[in-house]
Copies of this chain bind each other. A is one copy, B any other.
Amino acid sequence: LCTEHLLKGKARAIIANSGNANACTGNAGLENARETARVAAEALEITPEEVLVASTGVIGAQLNMKLLKESIPLLVKNLSSDDIPQAAKAIMTTDSFPKISSFQGRVEGRTYHLLGIAKGAGMIMPDMATMLCFILTDVNINKPDLKKALSISVESSFNRITVDGDTSTNDTVLILANGMAGNRSLSGNDYQNFVEGLQRVLNDLAIMIVKDGEGATKIVHIRVEGAATKEDALRAARTVANSNLVKTAFYGQDPNWGRIMGALGRSDIVMQEDKVNLFIDDILIVRNGLGIGENSEKKAAEIMKNHEFKLLIQLNQGNFQDRIITSDLTHEYVSINADYRT
């Protein structure tokens, strides 16, 4: 429905609900989404095509339209520019904290603003966008440039995180620009600055999503260097980041590098065991495929007690690199997901 509405030109409102994903709901679900946009448009005195819809929660159940229809006029009546924190809270499902990030830029002597909110804690391995993320800006920017800026920024932020390797049915990232900053155009360096600001906001939100990964106690920045191809670099990082054995070792604060080597070995990339180096932060634990020894593993285990650390994988096969941010796999993840619906 969003794709259809976006074809008509511009959007002026987003109506989102949490608790129900409105996915796998067939024609009835699509009709409910249309009805939601219609009711929101009526209350806002705009056209339904100017409304975008987003949903997150349980898959396969129909929306409670009675509740939605009753609530929307009230929501519109209470709209205020101070309510972003409340909106960030309202879209949470298993999230434990609201996710907000912002940026201020300058163009033609004027200040403009970027503000993003996001939700997401499980079913996170974005393949295009992730869960729900809404970004507002008052900068004046033409549509093709805004689209390009968003694509670039999503690719380097949301598309580089994973919590559980399960891509969501409801990945949504929306950006709205209203031009109220009053600048004439955004080009050259000003455009680059805007893209950097947008990347910063999306990256902030992406890291918050991993931090809040269901049951997560660790955030691990996995970087692969020296891959034979760009695809190999990403595939290696993603395979290690999604390995349940690696993720439980992170949880156990155990530099069990054999599991990392095992994951690399099954990832179907060009690699030679005796060329691989592994680091936890700045501690070398594997050189040329062999363990450095007990002493360096003790130091690495010490680092792994931190909430956040780096894993660097040097493949020494070529000149390509990529990265993925992941979390650990914990008892709490199992508890949350064994009991989610019941």
Contacts and interface: CB of A to CB of B under 8 A. Distances in A.
Contact of A26 (B169, B245, B290): B290
A289 B28 CA distance: 12
A251 interface: yes
B166 A254 contact: no
- How many monomers of this chain does the complex have? 2
Contacts of A179: none
B289 A258 contact: no
A248 B215 CA distance: 13
A252 B166 contact: no
A24 interface: yes
B168 A244 contact: no
Nearest to A263: B166
Contacts of A60: 257-258, 261, 286, 290-291
Interface in A242-284: 242-245, 248-249, 251-252, 254, 256-259, 261-263, 265-266, 273-274
Chain A to chain B: the 9 pairs with minimum beta-carbon distance, closest first: A59-B258, A252-B338, A248-B337, A167-B266, A60-B258, A164-B244, A251-B338, A166-B245, A60-B291
B245 A334 contact: no
A17 interface: no
Interface residues of A, number: 56
A256 B340 contact: yes
A45 interface: no
29 contacts: A24-B290, A24-B291, A58-B258, A59-B256, A59-B257, A59-B261, A59-B262, A60-B258, A60-B261, A60-B286, A123-B262, A165-B244, A166-B263, A167-B266, A169-B258, A169-B265, A244-B244, A244-B333, A248-B333, A248-B337, A249-B338, A252-B337, A254-B338, A254-B341, A256-B340, A330-B334, A330-B338, A331-B334, A334-B334
Nearest to A262: B169
Interface of A: 21, 23-26, 58-61, 122-123, 125, 127, 164-169, 242-245, 248-249, 251-252, 254, 256-259, 261-263, 265-266, 273-274, 286, 288-291, 329-331, 333-335, 337-342
Given A166-B243, A169-B258, A262-B169, A249 B26 contact: no
A245 B338 CA distance: 8
A289 B259 contact: no
Contacts of A252: 337-342
A258 B334 contact: no
Contacts of A24: 257-258, 261, 273, 286, 289-291
Contact of A335 (B25, B127, B291, B331): B331
B337 A245 contact: yes
A330 B249 CA distance: 16
Contacts of A166: 243-245, 259, 262-263, 266
Contact of A291 (B61, B256, B291): B61
